[in-house]
Structure 1
Amino acid sequence: MGYKIAVVGATGNVGREMLNILDERQFPVDELAVLASRRSLGTEVSFGDKTLKTQDLDTFDFSGWDIALFAVGSDATKKYAPVAAKAGCLVIDNSSLYRYDPEIPLIVPEVNADAIEGYKNKMIIANPNCSTAQMVVALKPLHDRATIKRVVVSTYQSVSGAGKEAIDELWDQTKSIYNPVDNKPPKVFTKQIAFNVIPHIDVFMDDGSTKEEWKMVAETKKIVDKAIKVTATCVRVPVFVGHAESINIEFEDHLDEDEARDILRESPGIMVIDKREDGGYVTPVECVGDYATFISRIRQDSTIDNGLNLWCVSDNLRKGAALNAVQIAEVYVNRILSKR
C-alpha cells in the first residue's frame, strides 16, 4: 500500500534531500507532490529516475493527502501548516515554529518514537534542531544506563545549516582569499567565515547565550528528560556539510568508557569509529551522505566522579533535517496509517 506525500519547499537544500531519502529508503509513495513558492513555480526536481515540476503551495489542496514534509521557514510554515493539518494531512515540520509547543510532539525516532501518538493533538509533528538531533541520539542510550545529570557541549556547525546562500558565501570568500582584488565581505554571517570560526549562531538572548544554544537546552529536555542540565556553545565553522560536537557528560552513576562504547555500538542510528590511533575517528567530510550519527573519542573524564567525553559527527542535512523527517513519517505509517 502506498501513500500520498507532499514535500513543501522541494527546491531547497533540505527539500531536495527529503526527495533523495524518500527514494533511497523506498518509502511507500503512491503519489508525490513537490511544492514551492510562486517564484520557484515550475522548477524541476528529481525523485529517483523521475523529474517533477513544482506546484504552487499557495493554491495546493491538501485534502486526501497523507503526509506533508515541510522544509520552509517559520513564516511560510505558520501560514500553510495549519491549512494542511485542517485538511487531515499530517505535517512534519522542519522549522523551529512548533518545537516548543507542549501539544506538539518533538521527535527523534531512535529516542522517543512513542511520542508519535501526540500527532492527534494538532496533526503536526516537529523536527528538532540539527545540532540537537544528533546529540540526543548519542545521549539517550547512555542516559538509560547511568542517568545523565549534566551535558556540556561545544558544536562545530557547517555553513549548510544556514542555507544555500551561506554555502555560496563560504565558497566565494575562500576563492577571494587567493584573489584579494575580488573581495567578498560577509553578508550571511557577521564576520568572514572562510578560514575562520564564528561563535555566534542565531540571535543573542538576554542571558548572553544565542538562540541556537537555547534550542539545544530546551529540545534535549523535551526529547530526552527535562531533568538533564545542558549548557552549549554553538560555533559556525568553514565546512560545507556535516556538524561535529564535543560532548562532556556527567552521570548519576559510574559508566565505564568500555561499557559506554559497547552500549553505543548496539544503539540504533549510531556508528562507533573509535580507534586510539591517527585517523581513528570520523570527521564531517566523511559523514556526508550517510544516515548514521558517528561517535568517536570516547574516554573517561577524570576531573569529575562520573564523567565521559565523546566526539559526535553527523550529516546535518540528513539526520539533522531530511532523514529525521522521513524517519518520523515511517513511524507514522508503521504505527498509525497501516493500522487503519
Structure 2
Amino acid sequence: MGYKVAVIGATGNVGREMLQTLVERKFPVSEVVALASSRSVGREVSFGDDKVLKVQDLATFNFKGWDIALSSPGAKVSAEHSPRAAAAGCVVVDNTSHFRMDPDVPLVVPEVNPEAIAQYTKKGIIANPNCSTIQMVVALKPLHALGTIKRVVVSTYQSVSGAGKDGMDELFEQTRAVYVGDPKEPRKFPKPIAFNLIPQIDVFMEDGSTKEEWKMTVETKKILDPNIEVHATCVRVPVFVGHSECVNVQFDKPVSVEAARKALSAAPGVIVVDTHEPGGYVTPVECVGEDAVYISRIRKDPTIANGLSFWCVSDNLRKGAALNAVQIAEVLARDYLKK
C-alpha cells in the first residue's frame, strides 16, 4: 500500500528534484500532489517520464488524509504551512531553515542520526539540515567513530544553485555579459558572481560570521555531537551545481590517514576517490546528478596534534536537499508509519 505525498514548493529547483528523486528511488507513492504559491497554480511539473502534475495552491490545500509532505517553499511560507499540514496529520519533512533549531523538531541526516526521526511525534515535523552541513556530517560520522572529533575548521565553495533559480540565472546572465560587453548589475548576490568569489552567504551576524557559517556550527552540534567545535567560512563560487568543502579535523587521539580512508570507504553514502595524481579527486562538475558525498585529498595535518584534512564534494540539490528529504521519508514510512 502506498503513501499520499505532497511536494510543497514543487516549481523550485529542490521541489522538482524531490519529485524526480521519489520516482528514481521508487518511493511507495499511491498519490502525489504538487503545491506552490498562487502565482504558480496551473503550471505543470514532471513526475517521472510519463506523468505531469498540475500545480495546486498551497494556501488553500487541505492536508487531511495526506501522509507525508516534502516541503521546500522558503522559511516564511514553511513557518505558516508546515504546522498546518502537521495539524492535519500529514508528517512534514521540511527543507527550510525555520524549524532546524527547534528543540522539539528532529534535525536528521539518515546516514548519521536516523534514530532522531522518532521525535517527529512532538510536532509532526522533521527538519532537513542545511546543504553544506549535510555533506560534511556524512563525512564526519565515520571519522567520529575512529576518534572523538574535538574541532572542525571548514571552508566551503558553494554553488549558486544554493541560492535558487535566481542565483543560477544571475551567474548565467553575468557570464554572458562579460563576453558581449554588456555588464549586468548584481541583484541576487551582493557583488558580481561571474568569474568571482563572494565570501558571504546569508546575512552577517553580530560576531562577524554569516548566518550560513552559524548554521554549519549549530546544526553539526545538534546532529552529530554538541561537544564538537566548528569554525566555518562559507564562500559562494561561480559554479551552477555542487558544493565543495575543505575540511580540517582535530581528534582527541591519533587517527591515521589509512584508518580514515578505510572508515570513509565503508561508510554509507560516501565514495572515496583519492589518488595522488593529476585528476585523482572529484570536482563539483562530476558530482552533479549523483547521490554520494565524494571524499578526496585525505591527508595528515602536521601543524596540529591529531589533525587530518580532506576535500568533500556533493550535489547540493540532491544529497544536500531533495535526496536527504526522501531518505528521511523512506525511514519514516518503513519504521514509523507502516501502512
Which band: TM-score by shorter chain? over 0.9
Give the alignment's TM-score, normalised by structure 1: 0.99
Question: d(CA) in 2 for partners of 1:100 and 1:36?
Answer: 25
Question: What SS is found at the alignment partner of 2:14?
Answer: helix
Aligned to 1:20: 20
Question: d(CA) in 2 for partners of 1:16 and 1:230?
Answer: 32
Question: d(CA) in 2 for partners of 1:19 and 1:103?
Answer: 27
Question: How many residue pairs were aligned?
Answer: 338
Question: What SS is found at the alignment partner of 1:165?
Answer: helix
Aligned to 1:257: 257
Tell me the alpha carbon deviations over residues 50-94 of structure 1, each in whole angstroms, 9 at most, x when there is no partner.
Answer: 011011111111011100000101111111111100001001100
Matches within 5 A, 1:179-194: 179-180=180-181, 182-194=182-194
Letter of the aligned partner of 1:198 in structure 2? I
The list of structure 1 runs, each at least 4 consecutive aligned residues, that deviate by more than 6 angstroms after superposition, is none
C-alpha RMSD over aligned residues: 0.6
Tell me the alpha carbon deviations over residues 118-161 of structure 1, each in whole angstroms, 9 at most, x when there is no partner.
Answer: 00100000000000000000001100110000000000000000
Q: Shift of residue 217 of structure 1?
A: 0.2
Aligned to 1:232: 232
Q: Shift of residue 218 of structure 1?
A: 0.2
Aligned to 1:106: 107
Matches within 5 A, 1:299-338: 299-338=299-338
Q: Tell me, yes or no, if structure 1 residue 268 matches structure 2 residue 296.
A: no
Moved more, 45-54 or 150-159: 45-54
Tell me the alpha carbon deviations over residues 298-324 of structure 1, each in whole angstroms, 9 at most, x when there is no partner.
Answer: 001111120100000000000111010
Aligned to 1:135: 136
Q: Tell me, yes or no, if structure 1 residue 162 matches structure 2 residue 163.
A: yes
Aligned to 2:153: 152
Q: Shift of residue 179 of structure 1?
A: 1.3
Give the alignment's TM-score, normalised by structure 2: 0.99
Question: d(CA) in 2 for partners of 1:18 and 1:255?
Answer: 37
Identity of aligned residues (%): 65
Tell me the alpha carbon deviations over residues 144-199 of structure 1, each in whole angstroms, 9 at most, x when there is no partner.
Answer: 1100000000000000000101100000000111111x221111111110000000
Question: d(CA) in 2 for partners of 1:283 and 1:306?
Answer: 27
Question: What SS is found at the alignment partner of 2:255?
Answer: coil
Q: Tell me, yes or no, if structure 1 residue 60 matches structure 2 residue 61.
A: yes
Q: Tell me, yes or no, if structure 1 residue 294 matches structure 2 residue 294.
A: yes
Runs (5+) with no aligned partner, structure 2: none
Question: d(CA) in 2 for partners of 1:213 and 1:176?
Answer: 31
Runs (5+) with no aligned partner, structure 1: none
